[in-house]
Amino acid sequence: MIALSLAEIATVLGGDLRLAGPATAETIVDGIVDTDSREMGPGSIFVAKPGAETDGHRFVGAAREAGAALAIVEHVVDEDIPQIVVADAVTALADLAREVVARVRAAGDLRIVGITGSNGKTTTKNFLARILSDEGETVAPIKSYNNEVGAPVTMLRVTHGTRFLVSEFGADAPGSIARLAGLVHPDVAVVLMVGMAHAGGFGGIEATAKAKSELVSAATSSGTAVLNVDDFRVAAMSELATSRGMSVVGFGQSDAADIRAHDVEVTASGTTCVVEAGGERIPLRLQVLGAHHVGNALAAIAAARVLGVSTADAVARLETVEIAERWRMQPLGNDRVRIINDAYNASPDSMAAALRTLAQITGQDERTVAVLGAMSELGETAGEEHDRIGLLAVRLNIQRIVVVGPEARRLFISAISEGSWDSEAVFFPDQDAAFEYLRTELRDGDRVLVKSSNSVGLRHLGDRLGELFS
């Protein structure tokens, strides 16, 4: 974070500064800001966020011992550390992020990119951060820091030397993206897709589309909207963008795209295509598995071009990315038994894309094995969406369908009903039972996909299988 005095921070937050030890109101702090006391270091700021399972106020002492110079609290804690008492710690975190980014922006050349979409946010963020990091200091979220805590924590990592801030915006309800993106008003607003992920929490896919469009509304009016023209709901956001005076850049595989991919091919060693932009045609070879990542790459290239990076440079840098992120199409195992651990998250769209990738990368003499868990947050559509994935797995001729957990049992029943008989589809109530089956069932030539929503935790099963066959 940029250097601020305790008094300045208290003023920004509208809080009550309580001094302790040798600190004065003019004491400067410039360390990281976080809600996790384990992340604290010298000069850092600990935000004591109350939670459903624990209360951050219990860890103020641990934060002080780790070097924290300030605690932002909702009530005074009996610890020898300066404290700023606020009404709401999460709101205070957002207020501090807004102020710090505004000061850096006013003093220098900071450019801000916001990314949202039902799928692909983290991969696109990582792709773009890789491209921009060669241009100057780039701040981007760790993992999927895209909520009311993670997004401001990331923003607060900017300094006066930061040239690019890449923010990832998730949404758990209408208004979430508007609130988070409104903290920084991005120069570039990237919308990837509108899908069924979290649709249960929004009341349907049209409400989801409206929520994603909040990023375009929150961007600067002189900025650029980077939109997926292959998704008609995203493409329709161009009208909103132009009505605000923004420029629009479209990406995708259709002829309407400004940044376009064609000749897409997926193999076990990566994904290739030809990128066409501004009259140039440049081959791209991604080490990341899956045709669906081509769209994420195009989005990153498009955003980078808006920020002044050439297509050739963007492509060259993307080709160095080995994996999108841990637990996202992550290759594990060995050449005999290859595990693809893609169980950090799952939606109907990403589940279908992962199954298609599994079918595409498996050779004629190899066997496809899909280890599948539940997709969460689908609301009243959950049953039919699990049915659809079960049907798709059978129609793609996935040779072993291993369903794990009671929440995914309907997927198993659907596969059986579609014709996956004679032990082609099996069900296990938990990960341990599935692991015991797989450790003896898997054989040379197997290509294994592990896929579920994060809350189901099959990523840990994928790690176990990867270690077993390493």
118 is in an annotated binding site: yes
Distance of CA 5 to the CA centre of its chain: 33
Residue 298: CB atoms within 10 A of its CB come to 31
121 is in an annotated binding site: yes
Helix (H, G, I), strand (E, B) or coil at 264: strand
120 is in an annotated binding site: yes
296 is in an annotated binding site: no
357 is in an annotated binding site: no
The Cα 214–Cα 211 span in angstroms is 5
Beta-bridge mates of residue 164: 111, 138
The Cα 258–Cα 248 span in angstroms is 9
Whether the CA torsion 392, 394, 397, 401 is positive or negative: it is positive
Residues whose CB is less than 8 angstroms from the CB of residue 382 and which lie 6 or more positions away in sequence, other chains included: 200, 375
247 is in an annotated binding site: no
The Cα 361–Cα 291 span in angstroms is 11
Q: Is 204 exposed, middle or buried (0-12, 13-18, 19+ CB in 10 A)?
A: middle
56 is in an annotated binding site: no
The residue assigned the tokens 């089956």 is 437
SS3 content of the chain, % helix, strand, coil (to 5): 40, 20, 40
Return the H-helix or E-strand segment holding 448: strand 446-451
The Cα 452–Cα 372 span in angstroms is 6
Return the H-helix or E-strand segment holding 342: none
Annotated binding site for ATP: 117-123
Annotated binding site: 117-123
